[in-house]
Amino acid sequence: MQLAGIGNGAIMKKLLWFLLLAAGGLWVGNTSAFSSFPPAERPRLLAHRGAHQTFDKTGLDGQSCTADRIGTPHHDFLENTIRSMQASFEAGADIVELDVHLTPDKQFAVFHDGKLECRTDRKGITEQTPMAVLKTLDIGYGYTFDGGKTFPFRGKGVGQMPTLTEVLDTFPKGRFLINFKSDRREEGEALAALLKTNPAYRKQVAAVYGDDIPTDAALAGIEGMTGFTNRSARACLLEYLAMGWTGYVPEICRDRLVTVPSNLAFLLWGWPQRFYGRMQAHGTEIVLMGDYHPGNAGVSGIDRPEDRRRIPPGFPGYVWTNEILSWR
């Protein structure tokens, strides 16, 4: 009995040493304690919706109208307009995110909503409305911050819905993240055709995202294009959590845009320097988002001064913000 006790003690000691060595190996293989990013004046900024009217996200779902829940306006910019994009670039945006719908006359309308009645003075389906009609609408019509007592932008957004080609022609040095707002393969194929026939436009489109079907069609049809879908973003992070301790980067993470919620970033093996370096080695850019909370429908960004504390010093990736004007 005594010999058996001594034997068990020796086994436990060896197991403890093994666990300590394994933990040490994991730490050494994934720590960023001995590395740092090169000094940078500021992160690269990705302006979601450009300069826009922010809104209350409480109880928000995919069908909610956001124009009738804006906060008290502090500026007069409306999302997805030329003025909004100009203000975003002037405030320091490296990339401006915009939304597109392919119209019956095969133009890309730059507008967020699938239905017109939330923001405009007309009812209808955006992708079923000719661009000539969309050009006549008042896209500021539906905005209110006081429950419909006043409409501060009514009459000020007439004719302000641009086409994608107008945006690209207006900002030849600008870069854009394009969000497909439908689930139609045709949208991705049409964008691929547009960029193939206009090489200058290809340089301006940094990435695409949206529903799997149009996004995958665009990624397949545009050489070197990167992007993401909700599915690919989740799959990448989950697979990396499972295997990233080895330094392995899953296929779903490669040649993509990977969005990282700032409140969960610490869970990623090697965050921030090792993680960033591994992704860069496989052609992937990182976009640091705001906090992720299950059930939230609105896109959270690095919007408040306190949010900026979560940006690693010298972080060379992109930072997603809904408040681009606050970075001026």
In sequence order, the β-bridge partners of residue 101 are 109
Q: What is the pLDDT of residue 18?
A: 61
Distance in angstroms (rounded) separating the CA atoms of residues 48 and 38? 26
Distance in angstroms (rounded) separating the CA atoms of residues 224 and 206? 10
Distance in angstroms (rounded) separating the CA atoms of residues 11 and 166? 72
Q: What is the pLDDT of residue 98?
A: 98
Give the type of residue at 25. Answer: G
Distance in angstroms (rounded) separating the CA atoms of residues 215 and 205? 13
Domain ranges within the chain, ordered by starting residue: 226-328
Chain centroid to Cα 147, Å, comes to: 30
Given a contact cutoff of 8 angstroms between Cβ atoms, the answer to whether 271 and 245 are in contact is no
In tens digits, what is the pLDDT along the chain, a chain of 328 residues? 555 555 677 777 777 766 666 566 666 678 777 778 888 778 899 999 999 999 988 878 767 899 999 999 999 999 999 999 999 999 999 999 999 999 999 999 999 999 999 999 999 999 999 999 999 999 999 999 999 999 999 999 999 999 999 999 999 999 999 999 999 999 999 999 999 999 999 999 999 999 999 999 999 999 999 999 999 999 999 999 999 999 999 999 999 999 999 999 999 999 999 999 999 999 999 999 999 887 665 668 999 999 999 999 999 999 999 999 999 8
Distance in angstroms (rounded) separating the CA atoms of residues 144 and 154? 9
Q: What is the pLDDT of residue 20?
A: 66
Distance in angstroms (rounded) separating the CA atoms of residues 17 and 46? 47
Given a contact cutoff of 8 angstroms between Cβ atoms, the answer to whether 180 and 187 are in contact is yes
**Cis (ω within 30 of 0) for the bond into 272?**
yes
Q: Tokens 């870069």 map to which residue?
A: 175
Q: Is 151 helix (H, G, I), strand (E, B) or coil?
A: coil
Confirm whether pTM is higher than 0.85: yes
Q: How far is CA 58 from CA 45, 61, 158, in A?
A: 25, 9, 29
Residues in Cβ contact with 79 at an 8 Å cutoff, skipping those fewer than 6 apart:
49, 50, 51, 52, 53, 112
Q: What is the pLDDT of residue 180?
A: 98
Q: What are phi and psi of 246, to 5 degrees?
A: -85, -10
Tell me the Cα Rg of the chain. 23
Chain centroid to Cα 98, Å, comes to: 10
313's tokens: 């010093």
Q: What is the pLDDT of residue 13?
A: 74
Q: Tokens 């490669």 map to which residue?
A: 254
Q: Pairing state of beta strands 108-110 and 93-102?
A: antiparallel
Q: What is the pLDDT of residue 295?
A: 66
* Torsion sign across C-alpha atoms 151, 156, 162, 166: negative
Chain centroid to Cα 22, Å, comes to: 36
Q: What is the pLDDT of residue 27?
A: 62
Neighbours of 160 (CB within 10 A): 20
